[in-house]
Amino acid sequence: MQTTALAPAALLRVAQMNETDRLTAAAGTSGVELMQQAGGAVAHEVLRRWPKCRVSVLCGPGNNGGDGFVAARALADAGWPVRVALLGPAGALHGDAAHHAAHWLPAIEPLTPAAITDAELVIDAILGSGLRRPLEPVTAQTLAAAAERGLPVLAVDVPSGVFGDTGEAQGAIAAACTVTFTRKKPGHVLLPGRALCGDVVVADIGTPREVLGTIAVDTWENHPSLWHDELPVPKAAGNKYSRGHALLSGGYPMTGAARMAARAAARAGAGLTSIAVPPIALPIYAGALTSIMVHGIARTQDFTQLLGDKRYSALLIGPGAGVGEATRARALSMLATGRAVLLDADAISAFSGRLDQLSAAIRGPCVMTPHDGEFARVFDVAGDKLTRARRAARASGAIIVLKGADTVITAPDGRAVVNSNAPASLATAGSGDVLGGIILGLLAQGMDAFLAACAGVWLHGAAAADFGPGLIAEDLPDLLPGVLRRLDS
Q: What is the pLDDT of residue 388?
A: 98
Q: What is the pLDDT of residue 489?
A: 80
Banded pLDDT at 300 (limits 50, 70, 90): confident
Banded pLDDT at 131 (limits 50, 70, 90): confident
d(CA 186, CA 240): 40
Does residue 279 surpass a pLDDT of 80?
yes
d(CA 214, CA 469): 44
Per-residue pLDDT of 220-267, as tens digits, reads 999 999 999 999 998 888 889 889 999 999 999 999 999 999 999 999
d(CA 282, CA 457): 30
Per-residue pLDDT of 411-465, as tens digits, reads 999 999 999 999 999 999 999 999 999 999 999 999 999 999 999 999 999 999 9
6 and 210 Cβ atoms separated by less than 8 Å:
no
User: Which CATH architecture group holds 14-220?
Assistant: 3-Layer(aba) Sandwich (3.40)
408 and 416 Cβ atoms separated by less than 8 Å:
yes
State in Å, rounded, how far the first CA of the chain is from the last one.
Answer: 21
Does residue 134 surpass a pLDDT of 90?
no
Sign of CA dihedral 155, 137, 150, 427: positive
Q: What is the pLDDT of residue 239?
A: 87
| Neighbouring-strand partners of residue 110 | 86
d(CA 398, CA 390): 10
Which amino acid, 166? T
| Percent of the chain at pLDDT exceeding 90 | 94
d(CA 404, CA 173): 22
165 and 11 Cβ atoms separated by less than 8 Å:
no
| Percent of the chain at pLDDT exceeding 70 | 100
d(CA 487, CA 469): 23
* Domain residue extents for the chain: 14-220, 224-487
Concatenating the DSSP letter of every residue in 80-131 gives --EEEEESS-GGG--HHHHHHHTT--S-EEESSGGGGTT-SEEEEES--TT-
Residue 161 CA, chain-centre distance (Å), reads: 20
Judge residue 205's burial from the number of C-beta atoms within 10 Å of its C-beta, 0-12 exposed, 13-18 middle, 19 or more buried: buried
Is CATH 3.30.1330.10 what the domain over 224-487 is classified as, yes or no? no
